């Protein structure tokens, strides 16, 4: 057996040891789902303003999330279990990820030309897209709980697809549910981490 992949995978898993990344990602998912729900449930006279919630909430979380996460790790994680420098992925790998994102965007753009089909397929498409990303993350980190979350969001997306509800409502619920799952998992992980580690003198 080649120990190198296992070592690199364990190094990547260390980034998740405290549950903080899951709390950040879960917050982004939850706020995204709730922000998409807002225009659907808001009174007609403020529905237009409700559409502004998504960029107003999501952009600061994305732009400041990495800095906030680093600051929290500097305060909580590194004093307890040390700092690990991470190797940056090669350019081709980042380019491949960008192409995959563009492909998903093109598929979604083509789907929106048929509004009725888009609305009907949105929960399932959202569930499977999230499941693919979470499944890749599970394989990349070697963490089985991401496989469980991937299966959950895929199943929930199909359930929302078959239920007689608005498609965009179903998609928003899938995203929000994924966020709640990650917030719970991150909170449990952080609790256990704090219980079993202490700040080094």
Q: How far is CA 170 from CA 33, 120, 122, 141, 159, in A?
A: 10, 9, 8, 29, 9
Let me know if residue 8 belongs to a domain. Answer: yes
Structure confidence at residue 3 (pLDDT): 47
- Is 30 part of any domain? yes
Could you give phi then psi for residue 19, rounded to 5 degrees? Answer: 80, -5
**Residue 93 within any structural domain of the chain:** no
pTM of the model: 0.79
pLDDT of residue 142: 86
pLDDT per position as a tens digit, 81-122: 887 765 555 554 555 455 555 555 545 554 455 556 567 788
> Within a domain: residue 92?
no
SS3 195: helix
- Report the pLDDT value the prediction gives residue 60, as an integer from 0 to 100: 80
Evaluate the CA torsion angle 114, 116, 120, 123 in order and state its sign: positive
Compute the distance between CA of residue 115 and CA of residue 17 in angstroms, rounded to an integer. Answer: 43
Quick one: tokens of 7?
A: 């070592």
Helix (H) or strand (E) holding 185, with range, is helix 167-196
Whether residue 96 is contained in a domain is answered as no
Q: How many domains does the chain have?
A: 1
Task: Flag whether 201 is in a domain.
Answer: no
Please identify every stretch of the chain with a pLDDT value under 70, giving residue numbers as ranges: 1-7, 44-51, 53, 85-118, 201
> Over the stretch 48-58, which tens digit does the pLDDT of each residue have?
666 676 777 77
């Amino acid at each position: 057996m080649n120990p190198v992949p296992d070592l690199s995978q364990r190094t990547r898993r260390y980034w998740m040891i405290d549950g903080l990344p899951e709390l950040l990602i879960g917050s982004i998912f939850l706020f995204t789902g709730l922000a998409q729900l807002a225009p659907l449930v808001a009174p007609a006279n403020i529905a237009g303003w409700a559409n502004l919630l998504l960029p107003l909430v999501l952009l600061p979380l994305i732009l400041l999330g990495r800095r906030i996460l680093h600051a929290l790790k500097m305060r909580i994680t590194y004093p307890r279990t040390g700092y690990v420098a991470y190797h940056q992925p090669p350019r081709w790998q980042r380019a491949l990820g960008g192409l995959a994102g563009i492909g998903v965007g093109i598929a979604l753009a083509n789907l929106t030309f048929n509004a009725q089909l888009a609305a009907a397929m949105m929960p399932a498409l959202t569930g499977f897209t999230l499941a693919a990303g979470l499944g890749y993350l599970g394989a990349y980190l070697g963490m089985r709980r991401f496989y469980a979350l991937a299966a959950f969001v895929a199943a929930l997306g199909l359930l929302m697809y078959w239920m007689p509800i608005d498609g965009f409502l179903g998609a928003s619920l899938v995203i929000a549910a994924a966020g709640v799952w990650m917030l719970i998992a991150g909170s449990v992980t952080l609790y256990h981490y704090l219980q079993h580690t202490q700040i080094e003198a």
